[in-house]
Copies of this chain bind each other. A is one copy, B any other.
Amino acid sequence: MALIVQKYGGTSVGTPERIKAVADRVKRFVDRGDQVVVVVSAMSGETNRLVALSQAVSSNPHPREMDVLLSTGEQVTIALLTLALQEQSLDARSYLGSQVKILTDEAHGKARIKAIDGESILTDLNAGKVAVVAGFQGIDGDGNITTLGRGGSDTTAVAVAAALNADECQIYTDVDGVYTTDPRVVDCARRLEQVTFEEMLEMASLGSKVLQIRAVEFAGKYQVPLRVLSSFEEGPGTLISIDDNKDMEAPLVSGIAFNRDEARVVVRGVPDTPGVAYKILGPVSDANVEVDVIVQNVAADGTTDLTFTVHRNELDKAQAITEDIAKQLNAREVAVDGSICKVSLVGVGMRSHAGIASQMFKTLADVGINIELITTSEIKISVVIEEKYMELAVRALHTAFGLDDTGAVESSDNG
Contacts and interface: CB of A to CB of B under 8 A. Distances in A.
A221 interface: no
Contact of A62 (B57, B66, B82): B82
Contact of A86 (B53, B58, B87): B58
Contacts of A79: 54, 65-66, 68-69
Interface stretch (A93-101, A153-161, A233-241, A390-398): A93-101
Nearest to A120: B143
Interface stretch (A70-78, A250-258, A373-381): A70-78
A336 to B, nearest CB: 37
B16 A57 contact: yes
Contacts of A75: 68-69, 71-72, 75
B83 A16 contact: no
B57 A80 contact: yes
A19 to B, nearest CB: 5
Interface string A168-190: 00000000000000000000000
Nearest to A134: B68
A33 interface: no
Interface residues of A, number: 40
A61 interface: yes
A354 interface: no
A327 to B, nearest CB: 39
Contacts of A72: 72, 75-76
A58 B72 CA distance: 20
Contact of A57 (B57, B87, B96, B98): B87
A57 B16 CA distance: 6
Contacts of A93: 64
A202 to B, nearest CB: 38
Contacts of A19: 57
Interface of A: 16-17, 19-20, 23, 50, 53-54, 56-62, 64-66, 68-69, 71-72, 75-76, 78-84, 86-87, 93-94, 96, 98-99, 143, 145
Q: Which 4 residue pairs across A and B have the least CB separation, nearest first? A: A16-B56, A69-B79, A72-B72, A58-B83
9 contacts: A17-B56, A50-B76, A54-B80, A57-B83, A57-B84, A58-B83, A64-B93, A65-B79, A69-B76
